[in-house]
Chain A
Amino acid sequence: MKLWKSLLAGAAAAVALAAAPLATTAANAADQTRIALVVKGLGIGFFEAANKGAEEAAKELGDVEIIYTGPTDTTAEGQIEVINALIAQKVDAIAISANDKDALVPALKKAMDRGITVISWDSGVAPEGRAMQLNPSSTPLIGNMIIKLAADNLPDGGDVAVLSASATATNQNAWIAAMKQVMPNYPNINLVATVYGDDLSDKSYREAQGLMQSYPDLKAIIAPTSVGIVAAAQAVEDAGKVGEINVTGLGLPSEMAGHVESGASKSFAIWNPIDLGYSATMIAYNLAKGKATAEPGAEIPMGRMGSVKLDENTEGAMADPFVYDKSNIEQFKSIF
């Protein structure tokens, strides 16, 4: 049994030694506002970028410590374990991007019962499980942005067409409707057609080819879908129409980097995860400190991002989608 004892004693001592420095940092942090940024899973570029934004906000605020955490696998059960550990640490606020909008409600309710401010961002939680939800953007803002991106590159106006996902896609239809509402602000821009690529690469590619053949004067294709925008850019490149037709809309920097470089797409938009992490932190801080309350109609300041206005479901939109072009695509293409 001697072997056991010496091995065990060694192991216990090693664990205790390793843990000691961690214990002191936890104690020092007691007078700071501790905000936990809980993400869907660790090791995802989008969320790492959000953490960068949260750290930026913490630096600006001064007395904030960010706890960036999340499960290894993107499950609700994993996030509940993380939430329980955060409740135990008596953190001041939890800002979470949820893996499951319903399953987290009991755990987050418990957190709120114990005096922790809970907000959700990016992927929301059902209203009873959080004080507010921060959406990256909103339908009117996205609708306006996609037509603005096309118009900005067409000073003399011209024909544009929309390449959407499926005809029944709720998000895309709402964005296109919002876009049509603001079309009168762009009198030179003429919307000639709306086609549907069903979010399939090959179908989107053929629809884009069809648009180019049917409308020889086409100046821009607006694709408010990450699949469609890539397919359209590829179709424009393959047809040798780079410079004649500009592809824009909503896409992912990692997938669009090549097409921005080739010139097929001058610019496109999507939310910026850094801004999202920054804003979520600012809101969590203001709510935890009692500087603002999350109720319908309230306006909550979020530092350099202005303020967010809450609707009747206590949801709010952060900002216009962020524009990506040659100047910043290099920086973001490795993030998401």
Chain B
Amino acid sequence: MSRETPESRLESRPDSRRAIPDRLSTPGARLLRSWEALLLAVAVAIFVANCFASPYFLDPWNLSDATFNFTEKAMIAFPMALLIIAGEIDLSVAAIIALASTIMGMAAEAGFGTPALVLVGLGVGLVCGAVNGTLVTRFGLPSIVVTIGTMSLFRGIAYIILGDQAYTSYPPGFDYFGQGYVFWVISFEFVLFAALAVLFGVLLRRTSFGRMVYAVGNNPMAARFSGLRVGRIRFLLFLMTGLLSGVAAICLTSRLGSTRPSIALGWELEIVTMVVLGGVSILGGAGTIAGVVIAAFVLGMVTFGFGLLNVPGIVMSIFIGLLLIAVIALPRLAARLAPRRA
């Protein structure tokens, strides 16, 4: 992975008044930069272990099925990564899925076709994102508090609308998003996941907007004095997260072929886990989309690999917890040892 130094990039931009490094230059900085390399090694190790552990792992169809374990969550993990890099968080994403799915179900019941349902899903996502964004930026409330609140609010509305009922009458053709295949074993969801990965990767690394996100996360005050419209950037990020939650809602609803208000329950923490495992600093200011992509594969493969061995889910949770702590702790341990060499 070749990279320009942040300094050279900023110098090339005449409008930036001061250089804001995308990472704090601690002694562990060099090691931190190889985070993706470390994660990739973990992914390869898990892949190899899975191949040894189960004769069913290396099968194109099985691997294709396995991707559904993470594609929808990863779609939200991308904008979530940007949001966390900018020093904010959105815990209402799973509730947005529930609300978007419920309203799509209502629209389907009312006889709307697939294109309209997609628009409804995206629209609800955008509106929910705008609610979060407004509360955080206009009223200056902490995002963790706001989104814990809207988490209950959005899912609460879904429960009021549906109760213990379910929407099941989706039009023919709607099942393509969650159950369709573009080519052989390559599912539509996987293609969408890959496209979004590239899109967000470019957005974060190759555009000035991406640089602004890092700047806001590293030091919002400095960013504001540097002339960045911090509130607007944050608002856009919440909007983006809402929109992508809408996209995930379309895929998940299509895959399940039905909506219940308990849909995607507990996903917000799995998505945050994916982002943090991907090397995004929970304190903001650092992280890459490549890391999140690899983390998505790692989590998907761990879930599927353990599933193939019929390991109880609770053991899986323990393993993922340990993996998370290990991956977070290792660079810090290494950083303590590093100064001697530096």
Contact = CB atoms under 8 A, between A and B. Distances in A.
Given A11-B45, A73-B266, A106-B179, A88 B55 contact: no
B147 interface: no
A16 B260 contact: no
B256 A76 contact: yes
Contacts of B49: 12, 15-16, 19
B53 interface: yes
B307 A85 contact: yes
B330 A20 contact: no
A183 interface: no
A23 B53 contact: yes
Interface string A79-108: 011101111111000000000111101100
Contacts of A77: 252, 256, 263-265
A72 B313 contact: yes
A102 B65 contact: no
Contact of A88 (B62, B168, B175, B313): B62
Interface string B57-87: 1010110011011000000000000000000
A242 B56 CA distance: 61
A100 B260 contact: yes
A20 B264 CA distance: 34
Given A85-B307, A87-B65, A102-B257, A4 B45 contact: no
A72 B334 contact: no
Contacts of A102: 166, 168, 256-258, 260
Contact of A105 (B48, B178, B252, B257): B257
Contacts of A100: 166, 256, 258, 260
B314 A88 contact: no
Interface in B61-118: 61-62, 65-66, 68-69
Interface in A2-44: 3-4, 7-8, 11-12, 15-16, 19-20, 22-23, 26-27, 42-43
A67 interface: yes
Contacts of A86: 307
Interface string B17-58: 000000000000000001000100110011011101111110
Contacts of B257: 102-103, 105-106
Q: Main SS of the interface on chain A? A: helix
Contacts of B263: 76-77, 103
A4 B45 CA distance: 13
A22 B312 contact: no
Nearest to A129: B257
Nearest to B46: A15
A88 B66 contact: yes
Contacts of A90: 56
A27 B308 CA distance: 13
Nearest to A91: B310
Interface string B280-314: 00000000000000000000000110011110111
B144 interface: no
B317 interface: yes
Contacts of B34: 1, 4
A228 to B, nearest CB: 21
A114 to B, nearest CB: 8
Q: How large is the interface on A (under 10, 10 to 19, 20 to 34, 35 or more residues)?
A: 35 or more
Nearest to A7: B330
A78 interface: yes
A70 to B, nearest CB: 8
Given A8-B41, A85-B304, A102-B166, A75 B65 contact: no
A4 B40 CA distance: 12
A307 interface: no
B54 A72 contact: no
B338 to A, nearest CB: 9
A88 B52 contact: no
Nearest to A77: B264
A159 B266 CA distance: 52
Contacts of A3: 334, 337
A307 B314 CA distance: 36
B255 to A, nearest CB: 7
A23 B310 contact: no
Determine which residue in B264, B304, B308, B330 has the highest number of CB atoms from chain A within 10 A of its CB, and name it: B308
A127 interface: no
A78 B65 contact: no
A201 interface: no
The 8 closest A-B CB pairs, nearest first, are: A85-B307, A19-B53, A72-B313, A102-B258, A12-B45, A88-B62, A15-B49, A103-B256
29 contacts: A1-B34, A3-B334, A4-B38, A4-B330, A4-B334, A7-B330, A19-B52, A19-B309, A23-B52, A26-B309, A43-B314, A71-B313, A72-B313, A75-B262, A75-B266, A76-B256, A78-B313, A81-B307, A84-B65, A85-B304, A85-B308, A87-B65, A88-B59, A88-B307, A88-B308, A102-B168, A103-B256, A105-B257, A105-B258
Given A67-B310, A73-B265, 18 more contacts: A1-B34, A12-B48, A15-B45, A16-B48, A22-B53, A26-B309, A27-B55, A70-B313, A73-B313, A77-B256, A77-B265, A81-B69, A88-B57, A88-B61, A88-B304, A88-B307, A102-B258, A106-B257
Interface of B: 34, 38, 41-42, 45-46, 48-50, 52-57, 59, 61-62, 65-66, 68-69, 166, 168, 175, 178-179, 252, 255-258, 260, 262-266, 303-304, 307-310, 312-314, 316-317, 330, 334, 337
